[in-house]
Amino acid sequence: VRPQDLIRVKRDNGEMPPEEIRCFIDGVARSEIPDYQAAALCMAIFWRGLSEAELSVWTDAMLHSGRVLDLSSIPGRKVDKHSTGGVGDKVSLCLAPLVAACGVSVPMISGRGLGHTGGTLDKLEAIPGFRTSISVDDFMRVVRDAKLALIGQTDDLAPADRKLYALRDVTSTVESIPLIASSIMSKKLAEGIDALVLDVKVGSGAFMKDLERSRQLAETLCGIGRRAGKQVTAFLTDMNQPLGREVGNASETREAIEILQGKGPDDLLDLTLQLGAEMLLLGGVAADQDDALQRVRQARRSGAGLERLRRCVELQGGDPRVIDNPALLPTARHDRVVAAQRAGTLAEVKTEQVGIAGMVLGAGRKTVADVIDHAVGLTVAARLGDTLRAGDPLAVLHFNDPTRADAAEPILLQAFVIGDGPITPPPLVYEVLR
Amino acid sequence: VRPQDLIRVKRDNGEMPPEEIRCFIDGVARSEIPDYQAAALCMAIFWRGLSEAELSVWTDAMLHSGRVLDLSSIPGRKVDKHSTGGVGDKVSLCLAPLVAACGVSVPMISGRGLGHTGGTLDKLEAIPGFRTSISVDDFMRVVRDAKLALIGQTDDLAPADRKLYALRDVTSTVESIPLIASSIMSKKLAEGIDALVLDVKVGSGAFMKDLERSRQLAETLCGIGRRAGKQVTAFLTDMNQPLGREVGNASETREAIEILQGKGPDDLLDLTLQLGAEMLLLGGVAADQDDALQRVRQARRSGAGLERLRRCVELQGGDPRVIDNPALLPTARHDRVVAAQRAGTLAEVKTEQVGIAGMVLGAGRKTVADVIDHAVGLTVAARLGDTLRAGDPLAVLHFNDPTRADAAEPILLQAFVIGDGPITPPPLVYEVLR
CB B167 within 8 A of CB B39: yes
- Average pLDDT for B48-70: 96
- Inter-chain residue contact A40 with B4, CB threshold 8 Å: no
Residue B431: in which H helix or E strand, if any? strand B429-433
Confidence (pLDDT) at A370: 86
- Inter-chain residue contact B35 with A38, CB threshold 8 Å: no
Confidence (pLDDT) at B403: 97
Cite the beta strand spans of A111-165 per DSSP E. Answer: 148-152
Residue A365: alpha-carbon gap to chain centroid: 15
Position A170 confidence tier, pLDDT thresholds 50, 70, 90: very high
Residues of B whose CB is below 8 A from A169: 4
| Calpha distance B386→B383 (Å, rounded) | 6
Closest CA to A183 of A192, A191, A174: A174
Q: Is A168 a catalytic residue?
A: yes
- Average pLDDT for B71-77: 94
Q: What is the ipTM of this complex?
A: 0.87
Looking at the predicted structure, is the pLDDT value of residue A24 above 80?
A: yes
Q: Which residues contact A176 (CB under 8 A, 6 or more apart)?
A: A42, A45, A46, A49, A168
Among chain A residues, CA nearest to B38 = A36
- The more confidently predicted of residues A303 and B169 is A303
Q: Is A350 a catalytic residue?
A: no
Which of B36, B167, B170 faces A171 most closely, judged by CB atoms? B36
- Average pLDDT for A38-52: 98
Confidence (pLDDT) at A156: 87
Which of A35, A40, A167 faces B43 most closely, judged by CB atoms? A40
User: Each residue of A399-417: pLDDT tens digit?
Assistant: 999 999 999 999 999 999 9
Which of B36, B47, B172 faces A39 most closely, judged by CB atoms? B36
Confidence (pLDDT) at A218: 97
Mean pLDDT for chain A overall = 96
Residues of B whose CB is below 8 A from A43: 7, 11, 39-40, 43-44, 47
- Inter-chain residue contact B4 with A172, CB threshold 8 Å: yes
User: Each residue of A95-151: pLDDT tens digit?
Assistant: 999 999 999 999 999 888 778 888 899 999 999 999 999 998 999 999 999 999 999
A 10 A CB-CB count for A290 gives 10
| Calpha distance B62→B82 (Å, rounded) | 18
- Average pLDDT for B97-110: 96
Q: Is A183 a catalytic residue?
A: yes
Between A and B, how many residue pairs show a Cβ–Cβ distance under 8 A? Answer: 80
CB A378 within 8 A of CB A348: no
Position B111 confidence tier, pLDDT thresholds 50, 70, 90: confident
- Inter-chain residue contact B173 with A40, CB threshold 8 Å: yes
Confidence (pLDDT) at B228: 95
> What angle, rounded to 10 degrees, do the helices at A159-169 and A177-189 form?
150
Looking at the predicted structure, is the pLDDT value of residue A352 above 90?
A: yes
- Inter-chain residue contact A43 with B47, CB threshold 8 Å: yes
End-to-end CA distance of chain B: 39
Position B378 confidence tier, pLDDT thresholds 50, 70, 90: very high
Looking at the predicted structure, is the pLDDT value of residue A153 above 90?
A: no
Nearest Cα of chain A lies from the Cα of B367 at a distance, in angstroms, of: 14
- Average pLDDT for B199-224: 96
User: Each residue of B292-324: pLDDT tens digit?
Assistant: 999 999 999 999 999 999 999 999 999 999 999
Which amino acid, residue B99? V
Confidence (pLDDT) at B288: 97
Confidence (pLDDT) at A255: 98
Proportion of chain A in helix, strand, coil states, percent, rounded to 5: 45, 15, 35
Confidence (pLDDT) at A112: 81
Looking at the predicted structure, is the pLDDT value of residue B367 above 90?
A: no
